[in-house]
Structure 1
Amino acid sequence: MTNGTRTALATALLLAVTAIPTSAVAAPEAAHIEGRLPSGATYLMDVPADWNGTVLLFSHGYRPMGAPNPAQNAPDDTTKALLLDRGYALIGSSYASSGWAVTDAVPDQLATLSVFKDRFGTARRTIAWGQSYGGLVTTAIAERAARRIDGSLAMCGLVHGGVANWNNTLDPVFAVRTLLAPDTDVPLTGFEDQAEATAAAGTLTAAADAAQKTTTGRARLALAAALHNIPVWNDPSQTRPAATDWEAQQANQFPALRGLIQLPAFSWRQEAETRAGGNMSWNTGVDYARLLGQSSVRKEVTELYKKAGLSLGKDLATLNKAPRISADASAMAWMSRTSAFTGKLTKPQLDIHTTGDALVPVQTESALKRAVTAAGSAPMLRQAYTDNAGHCTFSPAEQLSALHTLEDRLTTGRWTGTDPDSLNSRAAKADPTTPARYVPYRPAPYPRPYDLAHPADGR
Structure 2
Amino acid sequence: MTTRTRTASALALLLAVAALPTSAAAAAPETSHIEGQLPSGAAYMMDVPADWNGTVLLFSHGYRPKGAPNPAQNAPDDSTKSLLLKQGYALVGSSYASTGWAVTDAVPDQLATLATFKDRFGAARRTIAWGQSYGGLVTTALAERAPRRIDGSLAMCGLVHGGVANWNNTLDPVFALKTLLAPDSGIPLVDFPDQAAATDAANTLTSAVDSAQATAAGRARIALAAALHNIPGWNDPSQPRPAETDWDSREANQYGALKGLVQLPAFSWRLEAETRAGGNMSWNTGVDYARLLGKSSVHKEVTALYKKAGLSLRADLASLNKAPRIAADPSAVAWMSGTSAFTGKLTKPQLDIHTIGDALVPVQTESALKRTVTAAGTSALLRQAYVDNAGHCTFSPAEQLGALHTLEDRIGTGKWRGTDAASLNSRATAADPTTPARYVTYRPTPYLRPYDLAHPGDGR
Cα distance, 1:86 vs structure 2: 0.2
Aligned to 2:279: 278
Q: Does 1:268 align with 2:269?
A: yes
| Runs of 4+ that moved beyond 4 A | none
Aligned to 2:446: 445
Please tell me whether the aligned partners of residues 63 and 133 of structure 2 are also in contact (alpha carbons under 8 angstroms): yes
Q: Does 1:348 align with 2:349?
A: yes
Aligned to 1:14: none
Matched letter for residue 261 of structure 1: V
Q: Does 1:107 align with 2:108?
A: yes
The count of aligned residue pairs is 433
Aligned to 2:4: none
Q: Distance in 1 between matches of 2:124 and 2:273?
A: 35
Aligned to 1:199: 200
Q: Distance in 1 between matches of 2:149 and 2:397?
A: 26
Aligned to 2:86: 85
Cα distance, 1:184 vs structure 2: 1.2
1:209 aligns to what SS in structure 2? helix
Q: Does 1:58 align with 2:59?
A: yes
Aligned to 2:257: 256
Q: Distance in 1 between matches of 2:156 and 2:317?
A: 34
Q: Distance in 2 between matches of 1:399 and 1:37?
A: 28
Aligned to 2:44: 43
**Measured at CA, do residues 111 and 204 of structure 1 come closer, stay the same or move farther in structure 2, by a change above 3 Å?**
same
Matched letter for residue 276 of structure 2: R
Q: Distance in 1 between matches of 2:380 and 2:457?
A: 24
Matched letter for residue 292 of structure 1: L
Matched letter for residue 218 of structure 1: R
Cα distance, 1:29 vs structure 2: 4.5
How do 1:367-382 residues align onto structure 2 when only pairs under 5 Å count? 367-382=368-383
**Measured at CA, do residues 28 and 430 of structure 1 come closer, stay the same or move farther in structure 2, by a change above 3 Å?**
closer
Cα distance, 1:28 vs structure 2: 8.6
Q: Does 1:429 align with 2:430?
A: yes
Aligned to 2:293: 292
1:221 aligns to what SS in structure 2? helix
2:345 aligns to what SS in structure 1? coil
How do 1:301-380 residues align onto structure 2 when only pairs under 5 Å count? 301-380=302-381
Q: Does 1:31 align with 2:2?
A: no
Q: Distance in 2 between matches of 1:78 and 1:286?
A: 44
Cα distance, 1:244 vs structure 2: 1.2
Matched letter for residue 186 of structure 2: D
Aligned to 2:164: 163
Please tell me whether the aligned partners of residues 344 and 374 of structure 2 are also in contact (alpha carbons under 8 angstroms): yes
2:99 aligns to what SS in structure 1? coil
Q: Distance in 2 between matches of 1:442 and 1:373?
A: 16
- CA offset digits 1:98-150 (Å, max 9, x no partner): 00000000000000000000001110000000000000000000000000000
Q: Distance in 2 between matches of 1:430 and 1:368?
A: 28
Cα distance, 1:180 vs structure 2: 0.3
Q: Distance in 2 between matches of 1:28 and 1:169?
A: 47
Q: Distance in 2 between matches of 1:387 and 1:159?
A: 19
Q: Distance in 1 between matches of 2:211 and 2:155?
A: 38
**Measured at CA, do residues 430 and 299 of structure 1 come closer, stay the same or move farther in structure 2, by a change above 3 Å?**
same
Cα distance, 1:30 vs structure 2: 2.3
Aligned to 1:177: 178
Cα distance, 1:243 vs structure 2: 1.3
Aligned to 1:4: none
How do 1:82-161 residues align onto structure 2 when only pairs under 5 Å count? 82-161=83-162
Matched letter for residue 31 of structure 1: S
Query: Identity of counterpart residues, as a percentage?
Result: 82
- CA offset digits 1:395-436 (Å, max 9, x no partner): 000000000000000000000000000000111110000000
Q: Does 1:231 align with 2:232?
A: yes
Please tell me whether the aligned partners of residues 165 and 459 of structure 2 are also in contact (alpha carbons under 8 angstroms): no
Q: Distance in 2 between matches of 1:385 and 1:372?
A: 18
Matched letter for residue 241 of structure 1: P
Matched letter for residue 442 of structure 1: R
Cα distance, 1:272 vs structure 2: 0.2
Please tell me whether the aligned partners of residues 170 and 266 of structure 2 are also in contact (alpha carbons under 8 angstroms): yes
Matched letter for residue 338 of structure 2: R
Q: Distance in 1 between matches of 2:29 and 2:259?
A: 52
1:237 aligns to what SS in structure 2? coil
Q: Distance in 2 between matches of 1:183 and 1:74?
A: 47
Q: Distance in 2 between matches of 1:30 and 1:132?
A: 28
Q: Distance in 2 between matches of 1:59 and 1:205?
A: 32
Matched letter for residue 89 of structure 1: A
Q: Distance in 1 between matches of 2:434 and 2:239?
A: 23
**Measured at CA, do residues 398 and 226 of structure 1 come closer, stay the same or move farther in structure 2, by a change above 3 Å?**
same
2:202 aligns to what SS in structure 1? helix
Cα distance, 1:312 vs structure 2: 0.3
Q: Distance in 2 between matches of 1:360 and 1:28?
A: 38
Q: Distance in 1 between matches of 2:456 and 2:319?
A: 30
2:124 aligns to what SS in structure 1? coil
For the aligned residue pairs, the C-alpha RMSD in angstroms reads 1.0
Cα distance, 1:454 vs structure 2: 1.1
2:389 aligns to what SS in structure 1? strand
Aligned to 2:10: none
Matched letter for residue 144 of structure 2: E
Q: Distance in 2 between matches of 1:28 and 1:73?
A: 19
Q: Distance in 1 between matches of 2:306 and 2:230?
A: 17
- CA offset digits 1:6-52 (Å, max 9, x no partner): xxxxxxxxxxxxxxxxxxxxx99521000000000000000000000
- Taking structure 1 as the reference length, the TM-score comes to 0.94
Q: Distance in 2 between matches of 1:245 and 1:29?
A: 53
1:305 aligns to what SS in structure 2? helix
Q: Distance in 1 between matches of 2:67 and 2:121?
A: 34
Cα distance, 1:456 vs structure 2: 2.1
